């Protein structure tokens, strides 16, 4: 099983192809010019029957992209749906904190560090997570 490269840069078109493949029937317009790098990265594969499918790595990459997009939206003040897969994961990972009274979400220091790790040109100005950050996560999970 090919390992997912640690630094793969996907274009908007690459992400669109992956999203189109996620649970959709093949569309000749989308799949006629699939970028070869998606095969190389192991995000998609070709079955012996000739069918092109999304791999587990591809599904993980789409989920990661959705989480990054949701975290950026929360940082800009948008609401996060806690019942969504991304909302549950961001909350349980300690990347988003919910205000009990208002129900508003905010990005934690840990979440900002995680988001900055995906931004090529955005150095993190947030301090590295401390033990107290993990205690907050443990207390919020209870």
Q: Are strands 96-98 and 52-54 parallel, antiparallel or unpaired?
A: unpaired
Q: Can you give the pLDDT at residue 84?
A: 85
pLDDT for residue 81: 83
The pLDDT of 1-29, averaged and rounded, is 65
- Residue 3's pLDDT is 45
- Give 49-100 pLDDT, tens digit per residue: 878 888 899 899 889 888 988 999 998 988 888 788 888 899 888 899 887 7
pTM: 0.68
User: What ranges do the domains of the chain cover?
Assistant: 12-54, 63-141
Would you state the torsion angle of the CA atoms of residues 66, 67, 71, 77, taken in this order, to the nearest 10 degrees? 50
Q: Each residue of 67-77: pLDDT tens digit?
A: 988 999 998 98
Helix (H) or strand (E) holding 91: helix 85-92
Distance CA 97, CA 85 (A): 16
* pLDDT tens-digit series, residues 107-141: 999 988 888 887 754 444 455 556 666 665 555 55
More confidently predicted of 16 and 108: 108
DSSP-derived 3-state class of residue 63: helix
State the Cα–Cα distance between residues 80 and 97, nearest whole angstrom. Answer: 10
**Do strands 44-46 and 105-107 pair parallel, antiparallel, or not at all (unpaired)?**
unpaired
């Amino acid at each position: 099983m090919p390992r997912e490269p640690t630094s793969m840069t996907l274009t908007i078109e690459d992400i669109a192809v992956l999203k189109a493949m996620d649970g959709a029937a093949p569309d000749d317009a989308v799949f006629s010019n699939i970028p070869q790098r998606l095969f190389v990265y192991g995000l998609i594969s070709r079955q012996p029957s000739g069918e092109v499918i999304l791999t587990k790595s591809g599904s993980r990459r789409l989920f990661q992209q959705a989480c990054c997009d949701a975290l950026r939206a929360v940082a800009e003040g948008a609401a996060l749906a806690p019942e969504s897969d991304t909302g549950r994961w961001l909350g349980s990972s300690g990347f988003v904190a919910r205000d009990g009274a208002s129900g508003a979400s905010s990005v934690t220091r840990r979440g900002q560090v995680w988001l900055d790790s995906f931004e090529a040109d955005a150095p993190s100005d947030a301090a590295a997570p401390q033990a107290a950050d993990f205690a907050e996560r443990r207390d919020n999970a209870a």
